[in-house]
Amino acid sequence: MADQIKGNMEVIGADGVHVGTVDRVEGDRIKLKKFDSFAHHEGHHHYIELGFVAGVEGSKVRLSANADVAVTLEEEKSGRPVKL
């Protein structure tokens, strides 16, 4: 599925709420653009593991968790989970 995920695709939670925009796929994670992340942690990228991707629908990447849960699954560049 990673080969279907491209830059500038919208990442949405299972509830349809915007989580962020794909910068690119790095290994087994989606790197979100700095300026457009639901977590609103500015100044660095956030990552979501590909295991949380439920599917790719057109230009959207749908996660298996709702947006408010997905942000607790995001990782900062350091690799530590973000807790909001």
Domains and CATH numbers, the chain: 2-76 (3.90.50.10)
pLDDT band at 39 (very low <50, low <70, confident <90, very high): low
Q: What's the average model confidence in pLDDT over 8-34?
A: 94
Supply the pTM of this predicted model: 0.80
User: What would the two tokens of residue 17 be?
Assistant: 């709420």
Whole-number Cα distances in Å, 51 to 35, 39, 65, 69: 23, 19, 11, 14
Provide the mean pLDDT of the chain.
83
Q: What's the average model confidence in pLDDT over 50-65?
A: 96
The yes-or-no verdict on residue 36 having pLDDT over 80 is: no
CA distance 79 to 56: 24
- Locate tokens 């939670």: which residue? 13
Q: What's the average model confidence in pLDDT over 40-55?
A: 81
